[in-house]
Structure 1
Amino acid sequence: MGEDGLRGDVSPTIVILGGTGVFGGRLAKRLARFRDVRLVITGRDRDRARKFAAALRRSTGCPSIEGDCLALGSSLGERLTRIAPDVVVHAAGPFQGQDYSVPEAVLMAGAHYVDLADGRDFVLGFAAHLDDIARSRGLIAVAGASSVPALSSAVVLELARDLGEVTSIEIGISPGNRAPRGDAVIRAILSYCGKPIPGWANGRRSERIGWQGLRREIIGELGPRWFCDCDVPDIQLFAQAYPKARDIRFGAGLELGFLHLGLWGLSAMVRARMLPPLDRFSGLLRSVADLLEPFGSDAGGMFVRVTGKSKEGLPVSHGWQLVAKQGDGPYVPTLPASIMVRKILTGGAGAPGARTSFGTIMLKEFMDEAADLHIEMGTSDVR
């Protein structure tokens, strides 16, 4: 057995697509702890990938780390067949608007597939498009092994464990202003600002507006932060899992109030058709955000609030929060993927097939994975 519980008699190969990005790079650092694997870190720039891999080899002492260029085009399947990976992790977002050609190429190359997708349509349609292929080849494919819906569902399932009925779910994520900003994340958020997104209110499907629904939440020592509505797969997934829930809401917030409120105002202008879609201005808005990077902090957080009734019919409200310090916030979206890769390599990921990450990891598994990071979490009253 290797140091992380993997089989020592075999050296499985893991490929990370987008492995030099904000999240892909941090995932690579987590997977480099699996001493008995060959890790191939890929990106659009071969030199950058090789330099990143060399630095990771030096810092970890793990010799089986390589860097390479691997485009997500028509030649992906052929290249993967040559590499012969056991698992491929797709971290090259944004997933909004992506089709299923990448996971299909991975499965046809004979590898298990995991991604960090948060794109609603991509995650919700994943199983229908890929389950037959995965089952026929005896492989596992998991979409959304990230903060949503993997971690969010793990928390809600734990908080709702002793409830007889769930009536509302609210989730929010707010990164520190000094946390690295990936272009994919910025484009993903801007793509739905000011546009209608699915919601769930008063016990039925409703419509919300991206980056509207302004509200204030307090997350422990982080204090109050603004939040607005975001487009994530969680709304529909939680509505299916808890059909008696009347209200389900997911929000995100920027640490700097004037930056958050500025984006809120721009989103309102898109809604009023006074501006075109904001993703057209992603470069300009990224430059503004970069200029403001020295302000704020490197501390981010997440909260989950589940309200319902006990098995005796009494009203109950459970809260949970996470606070990440010292720049470790960007690791949070990568930890579910690291857990899922380990499960696949050790035979603990379940039967072959394609599925979302909803309910695929337990909160305790996440807590164990985060134990060496500056991440604090636990139940609390989130007002």
Structure 2
Amino acid sequence: MLGGYGTFGGRIARRAAAAGFEVLVAGRNAAKAHAFCAGEDRLIPFVVDRDAGLVEALRTQRPFALIDAAGPFQGADHAVAEAAIAAGAHYVDIADGRDFVCSIGRLDAAARKAGVAVISGASSLPALSGAVTSRLAAGLDTVGAVEIVLSASSRGTAGASVAAAVLSYLGKPIRLWRGRRPATGWGWQDLQRRDFTVEGVKPLRRRLVGLADVPDLDLLPARLPGRPAVSFLAGTDVRLHNIGLWLLSWPVRWHWLESASGLTNLLVRLHGWSRWTSSLRSAFSVRLVGKAGSRRIERIWTLIAEEGQGPEIPSLAASILLERLDTLVPGARDAGTALTIEDFEAVLSRMPASWEVRERALPAPAYARVMGTDFDALAPPVRAFHAVLGDTGAAGRAIVRRGRNPVARLIAALFRFPPAGEHALHVTVRERNGEEIWTRDFGGRRFESMLKERGGLLVEHFGLLRFGFDLPLGDDGGLKMVMRRWWLGPMRLPLAIAPKAPAREWAEDGRFCFDVAIALPLVGLVVAYEGWLEVSPVARETAVP
């Protein structure tokens, strides 16, 4: 076992020994290997460098399986797996490097020929996350969005491999699938707070987490019906760690630093100095929104691990798979479909951990709640666009006009309205807890607003300004937006001085069409835009092998 005396490898080694395996605890550091194996009959220290001498060591020892827990796997190649195949040994790793795990299939033919199983990503992601997601998606016709969140006790995340993995993508672009198209996020940004609750257990509140790069961002959209948007957020239980990483991500994003990877040793030391502030509690959750027939459903699987047992979770998949390797079909694949949630729960039941699945019916989308039965009478492209399920989007074209009054130009700049002219347009709508975040991208110029139903009106938020609209159904199967109220902060303002914002939506030639204008008393036109969007029905995707 490479990295067998490390944070996660050590746990896998002990589990393997307890299961009756004789384990060669391998790595470059002889002192650490001997110290780890002291007093354990089935743990045998073995010094080897994965970059030199591994092939010869495998030929000599002829192991049943090689488990790679050394990491980090970001930017690594598959030389270790290839060496295992050449030696006729099964191979399992605990990689969470996105490209590393997602490209393991290129070894499939060689693994089949050698008659061995090659499994990559036998860790929390994608093995556990894949098993949970499969359970949550059962019976759904389509899935709109998946959010995976990990909040670890910092006492189990202090290793150099973990730090190197995090810093490898800190502040770097992360490929996402959002709004029905490829999008970009940034490593350890999008900082958010999350709560973790399991009935009968003290909850974990307001844990900070940021965007991280993992294989699931590629694997799950391809595997789940509807090709959903997928996000993964991670953090430790120490706020200082998360805020520090967020701050450090900006110089990398702004290209002041090429990479933060050179700070690995410093990060490990800083982490060690602040570990005393951490708890012994970790949490992992998967939230999925989908649809079964006409029912809109949210399902959440939440796990809370106590007594510092959080670091055991990433070791479970490899330990379970080790005992099943002879029963697996030869070939190379990721671990996202290798196990079921029942496999994990059987082991978790013997640990100080609690978990539960919650399901609830989701309310109708905001436009549907405002329009009531009229929503079903909308033209199909208009209705389809507003039937948001977690995350949706559409692309098209728009023509923008801008007012010439200096005040109008200032307001347009403040709200980041697009410049005059014809633009490629993409609109992304993200839904959570009955609120919709609309991001309109006019050829790279974006502006955003938040919409929700309140008091029978569609209320749109632009910062401190809020506008309440009625949505009468048009004779053509379209709708109009008629302003009924507006507010500045908590203060309701008279309609006589309100902006004029006539807006209309309709269907034409199978497209969603729109015409929006915003004007102010005494100032005149601020911005107007009209155009169309192609709204494609969400098709059920075929699972990848």
TM value normalised by structure 2: 0.64
The answer as to whether partners of 2:85 and 2:116 remain within 8 angstroms in 1 is: yes
The answer as to whether partners of 1:204 and 1:246 remain within 8 angstroms in 2 is: no
CA distance in 1, matches of 2:290, 2:230: 12
Name the structure 1 match of 2:176. 199
Residue 75 of structure 2 is aligned with which of 82, 97, 106? 97
The answer as to whether partners of 1:203 and 1:244 remain within 8 angstroms in 2 is: no
1:180 Cα deviation after fit: 4.5
Question: Is structure 2 residue 57 aligned with structure 1 residue 79?
Answer: yes
Structure 1 stretch displaced more, 318-327 or 369-378: 369-378
The answer as to whether partners of 1:320 and 1:381 remain within 8 angstroms in 2 is: no
Name the structure 2 match of 1:250. 232
CA distance in 1, matches of 2:258, 2:359: 40
Residue 353 of structure 1 is aligned with which of 327, 331, 337? 331
CA distance in 2, matches of 1:54, 1:92: 20
Name the structure 1 match of 2:269. 287
Residue 324 of structure 1 is aligned with which of 288, 305, 328? 305
SS in 2 for 1:368: helix
Structure 1 stretch displaced more, 72-81 or 300-309: 72-81
Q: What does residue range 214-253 of structure 1 map to in structure 2 within 5 Å?
A: 214-220=191-197, 221-242=203-224, 244-253=226-235
Residue 114 of structure 1 is aligned with which of 92, 100, 112? 92
Change (3 A) 1:246 1:240: closer
CA distance in 1, matches of 2:135, 2:272: 37
1:235 Cα deviation after fit: 0.8
Question: Is structure 2 residue 3 aligned with structure 1 residue 21?
Answer: no
1:123 Cα deviation after fit: 0.6
Q: Give, as a single letter, the amino acid of the residue that structure 1 aligns with 2:14.
A: K
1:248 Cα deviation after fit: 1.0
Deviation readout 1:305-343 (Å, 9 max, x if unpaired):
000101x22100000111111111111001001111111
Name the structure 1 match of 2:428. none
SS in 2 for 1:32: helix
Change (3 A) 1:41 1:239: same
The answer as to whether partners of 2:297 and 2:359 remain within 8 angstroms in 1 is: no
CA distance in 1, matches of 2:105, 2:262: 31
1:47 Cα deviation after fit: 2.9
CA distance in 1, matches of 2:163, 2:171: 15
The answer as to whether partners of 1:164 and 1:313 remain within 8 angstroms in 2 is: no
Question: Is structure 2 residue 318 aligned with structure 1 residue 337?
Answer: yes
Residue 134 of structure 1 is aligned with which of 102, 106, 111? 111
CA distance in 2, matches of 1:189, 1:359: 25
Deviation readout 1:54-92 (Å, 9 max, x if unpaired):
24x1xxxxx332111121023211111111101110001
Name the structure 1 match of 2:34. 50
Higher relative contact order (CA 8 A, sep 6+): 1
Name the structure 2 match of 1:60. none
CA distance in 2, matches of 1:138, 1:327: 39
| Runs of 4 or more consecutive aligned structure 1 residues displaced over 3 Å after TM superposition | 380-383
1:243 Cα deviation after fit: 5.2
Q: Give, as a single letter, the amino acid of the residue that structure 1 aligns with 2:83.
A: A
1:177 Cα deviation after fit: 2.5
Q: Give, as a single letter, the amino acid of the residue that structure 2 aligns with 1:158.
A: R
Structure 1 stretch displaced more, 99-108 or 68-77: 68-77
Name the structure 2 match of 1:176. 153
Question: Is structure 2 residue 291 aligned with structure 1 residue 313?
Answer: no
SS in 1 for 2:156: coil
CA distance in 2, matches of 1:260, 1:65: 36
Structure 1 stretch displaced more, 373-382 or 45-54: 373-382
CA distance in 2, matches of 1:370, 1:32: 19
**RMSD (CA atoms):** 1.5
Q: Give, as a single letter, the amino acid of the residue that structure 1 aligns with 2:136.
A: L
Q: Give, as a single letter, the amino acid of the residue that structure 2 aligns with 1:33.
A: A
1:358 Cα deviation after fit: 1.2
1:50 Cα deviation after fit: 2.2
**Structure 1 segments unaligned to the other structure (5+ residues):** 1-15, 58-62
The answer as to whether partners of 1:178 and 1:295 remain within 8 angstroms in 2 is: no
Name the structure 1 match of 2:19. 34
Question: Is structure 2 residue 137 aligned with structure 1 residue 156?
Answer: no
1:292 Cα deviation after fit: 0.3
CA distance in 2, matches of 1:77, 1:133: 16
Question: Is structure 2 residue 222 aligned with structure 1 residue 260?
Answer: no
TM value normalised by structure 1: 0.90
Q: Give, as a single letter, the amino acid of the residue that structure 2 aligns with 1:100.
A: H
Name the structure 1 match of 2:509. none
SS in 1 for 2:251: helix
CA distance in 2, matches of 1:227, 1:197: 16
CA distance in 2, matches of 1:246, 1:110: 38
1:278 Cα deviation after fit: 1.2
By percentage of residues, which structure has more strand?
2
The answer as to whether partners of 2:2 and 2:70 remain within 8 angstroms in 1 is: yes
**Structure 2 segments unaligned to the other structure (5+ residues):** 198-202, 361-432, 434-545
SS in 2 for 1:85: coil
Q: Give, as a single letter, the amino acid of the residue that structure 2 aligns with 1:48.
A: K
Name the structure 2 match of 1:145. 122
The answer as to whether partners of 2:142 and 2:225 remain within 8 angstroms in 1 is: no
Name the structure 2 match of 1:11. none
Name the structure 2 match of 1:7. none
SS in 1 for 2:44: strand
1:381 Cα deviation after fit: 7.0
